[in-house]
Amino acid sequence: GAGVSQSPSNKVTEKGKDVELRCDPISGHTALYWYRQRLGQGLEFLIYFQGNSAPDKSGLPSDRFSAERTGESVSTLTIQRTQQEDSAVYLCASSFLFGRTNEKLFFGSGTQLSVL
């Protein structure tokens, strides 16, 4: 596609339920990132995938959070046993890394998650 696509755009769930958020990066982009944005806050780094390397999971807030990516394609972020504090916008971004060049990140429009 032309840009980073995220689905669903909005998700309302009940406390304790599991949710899956999807990110479709720009074709050919080797790097993919997940960020969380709480209301009125900046973005918090969650996880980073680069090619076939082991992902950088250092930003995941708890073991209820996990993410997968198959090759250089779609990624899913899963939140198990959701809590009210998980309510936030979850943003995905992708980029093409070439050597040491810090390439531009392209962001999706995010998934607004509301946990009731």
Partner 1 sequence: AQTVTQSQPEMSVQEAETVTLSCTYDTSESDYYLFWYKQPPSRQMILVIRQEAYKQQNATENRFSVNFQKAAKSFSLKISDSQLGDAAMYFCAYSPNYGGSQGNLIFGKGTKLSVKP
Binding site for partner 1 (CB under 8 A): 31, 33, 35, 40-45, 48, 50, 56, 58-59, 89, 91, 93, 95, 97-105, 107-110, 112
Cβ distance to partner 1 smaller for residue 14 or 54: 54
Cβ distance to partner 1 smaller for residue 14 or 39: 39
Cβ distance to partner 1 smaller for residue 7 or 109: 109
In the complex, what is the shortest distance from the CB of residue 30 to partner 1, in angstroms, rounded to a whole number? 10
Answer whether 29's CB lies under 8 Å from 14's CB. Answer: no
41 CB-near residues (< 8 Å, 6+ apart): none
In the complex, what is the shortest distance from the CB of residue 11 to partner 1, in angstroms, rounded to a whole number? 14
3 state SS of 84 = helix
Nearest to 36 by CA among 69, 102, 99, 82: 82
Count the helix, strand and coil residues of the chain and give each as a percent rounded to the nearest 5.
5, 50, 50
Cβ distance to partner 1 smaller for residue 14 or 85: 85
